Amino acid sequence: MKNRLVIPASVTALLLAAPAFAQAHHAEWMRDKPFVQGLSMPIHGLDHMFVTVAVGLIAAQIGGRALWGVPAIFSVSIVLGGILNIMGVPVPLVEYGILASIVVCGALLAWGARVSVLVTLGIVALFAFLHGNALIANDGFVHNLPVFIVGCLVSGLALQAVGIGLGLLLARTLRLPVYRYAGFAMLALAVVISAFPTVNDCVIHLLENK
């Protein structure tokens, strides 16, 4: 058991030593397109994108009611986190929490069978709250917040659907421990983003250059 904790513990230590990332922002061409702005937010950073897909994989790993319950909890928590940000209520260590979410989601996928469903749902809700706090903001660039939030939720649900679909399909067709491999891939992603922070912003740079 101790050996199984070495990788996530090491990655967590690396994340805590890394500088915090800047909050997500919008490409200039999206200025008058709040729905498009919302759609783009969950893919702005690799951390947001892959954690959202990982949540879909976690739902597929649990199965049953989790296939709709996990996305529902994730979506509600994102909105709650965003509302606090809009209201100006400070949430400490948001950026470090987002970084930690990559590690924890990876650990849940790699060793999720050993964690209760209720604990998993609580972890998903917490990290969704932190991601929502970073993604949804009244920064003066968004002119229609309700439409923006709807776009953000649609994009987030689509990414989770991708995770659920891939998880169910690959687990049934390949007959391999797909979720464990995905978990290790998430841990590797955490190391890469920590060592090379600019990699995290590659998608927003592509959007800005559109």
pLDDT tens for 41-71 read 898 889 999 999 999 999 999 999 999 999 9
Q: Of 124, 182, 184, 185, give the one whose Cα is nearest residue 156.
A: 124
pLDDT for residue 49: 95
Q: Which two tokens stand for residue 126?
A: 């917490």
Q: Determine how many CB atoms are found less than 10 A away from the CB of residue 128.
A: 26
Average pLDDT over residues 99-108: 94
Confidence of residue 125 (pLDDT cuts 50, 70, 90): very high
Q: Where are the domains of the chain?
A: 39-208
* Whole-number Cα distances in Å, 170 to 5, 58, 78, 161, 165: 26, 14, 28, 14, 8
116, 108 contact by CB (below 8 A): no
Confidence of residue 22 (pLDDT cuts 50, 70, 90): very low
138, 145 contact by CB (below 8 A): yes
pTM score, two decimals? 0.85
Which are the contacts of 200, defined by CB distance < 8 A and separation ≥ 6?
21, 45, 46, 47, 193
3-state secondary structure of 70: helix
Sign of CA dihedral 57, 61, 64, 65: negative
Q: Which two tokens stand for residue 148?
A: 């923006």
* Whole-number Cα distances in Å, 87 to 4, 75, 82, 135, 136: 41, 19, 9, 14, 11
Confidence of residue 72 (pLDDT cuts 50, 70, 90): very high
Rounded CA gap, 153 and 147, in Å? Answer: 10
